Amino acid sequence: MQRTTRWLVAATLLALGAGAHAQVNQIRVWAAACANCHGTEGRAEPGMIGLAGRNKDELLQQLLAFKNGQRPATIMHQLSKGYSDEQLAQIAAYFAAQKK
């Protein structure tokens, strides 16, 4: 019985780890959509706005302002509407965690 319990616990932990890994990969997929303008992993080319290493809360505020129409933009207001507020928070955290 104890052996079965250990296997169940191990299997559960593996499943949770796989789920967390899939979540990280999903956030990378969302962030990759930003690469055309903001560079790979948020490290933009000269003349463009880099996102890597910026403050997470500031990034999120700006994304939400685009989404809510409070900040004018050519395309960001449209792109941001495609994500939930939670997804935007995860994207902001992803870029904040990247090295400049």
Residues 30-77: tens digit of each pLDDT: 999 999 999 999 999 999 999 999 999 999 999 999 999 999 999 999
Count of alpha carbons within 13 angstroms of residue 78, beta-carbon side: 3
Give the model's confidence band at 5: pLDDT under 50 very low, under 70 low, under 90 confident, else very high: low
* Average pLDDT of span 73-93: 95
Helix axes 56-67, 85-97, angle to 10 degrees: 140
Q: What is the pLDDT of residue 4?
A: 64
Residue 81 has pLDDT above 70, yes or no: yes
Local structure of 87: helix, strand or coil:
helix
